[in-house]
Structure 1
Amino acid sequence: MRNYLLLALFFTLTSEASVVGISTHPLNEEARVFSAEMTGYMNQRHEMGAGIRYTQEVEKDRLLDLSASGGQESRGLTLGGGMDFEILSEDVHQPRFSLKPYMQYQKFDETTSTYIGGAPTLRKGFSISGQEVFPYLAVPTGMKLDSETDEFVYYASVTLGASMPFPGANNERVLLSVEGNKNMGSTSDYVGCLVSWMWK
């Protein structure tokens, strides 16, 4: 477990795009998922971003998540990832609870920032007219190192989203996720959409 955690932290670098992504969705054993994502940033510039993401179950109840993305004008190329560790399994009366340690790198204009943190996440699935939906709530928190000040600053945000098989696709291997994030200390809020293809 320690080696997987160190591996996740070594490979994890991402911007203020999705921290959670598809990593809470109930995937097949040893599943591999490729995702395309679009992100709308709610700051004063109202910029758009796009990226790709790779998610893989490296061990039962442990999902490794890697991403690369870019955006308009002030947002440069970013890389990222994390690892989702399931702590409590979902059942009829109990939601799934997991913890996702991650590390982020963000380039905004000429400023670069590094984020190290964790995202405790709750997920509880249900069915609507035969369509399975898996809503989740996460609270990504951690420390930020700003390249201009070389100071560590605490940050926190709240993420609300849901994943499901893509409506109308008639294929459980094609997934749709929507996600919104509220940053508690700045105006870097975003909404995002991911379309994912799952294979073994």
Structure 2
Amino acid sequence: MRIAVRTLGCKVNQVESDALVGMLAALEPEVVELEQGADLVVINTCSVTTTAESTARKEIRRARRANPDAFVVVTGCYAELAPEQIAELGADAVVPNRSKAELPRVILERFGLPADPVTTPPNEFWGAGERGLYSDRVRAFLKIQDGCNAGCAYCIIPRTRGRERHRDWRSVVEEAEALAAAGYRELVLTGVRLGSYAG
């Protein structure tokens, strides 16, 4: 199974994209570039600016042109705001942020494989570092928070990521210990508003 994953935007999207690849181990994925012919394309979008949304649209069109027979899945903040427009651009499935934990199930079922508790996370705090996700990296990323309650007039994040949610500290420590045991010497905590963390 050849998969291409395009991640636009923040580190939180990067963590989620990396975790998704780990959860798709049942597909025995070979990660390729968008133009190398993929069976599955996942585009994790951003919409923090109009430029980010324009980039997302270009990537979706590019993915469909380069991989006409691929299963193209679009997720992320732009998917939260414009699912109908994304479908019109050629996406086979649109999974908004509020349903992002469903991504592995949507993909595995499309390829005739069952989803199970290992491949379907209970929530958006995907603890997948212990699956070897970061094998090419010096550091590992650990998502501990999502969403924002600030409600600033100029910011779209509360609309695209929802209200603040905090990962339980026990789960954070458990994954951090697993990553340290796997040899990672640097952990990067990620979230939308880390200063508000209260796990």
Give the TM bin, normalised by the shorter chain.
under 0.3
Greater helix proportion: 2
Which TM-score applies when normalising by structure 2?
Answer: 0.27
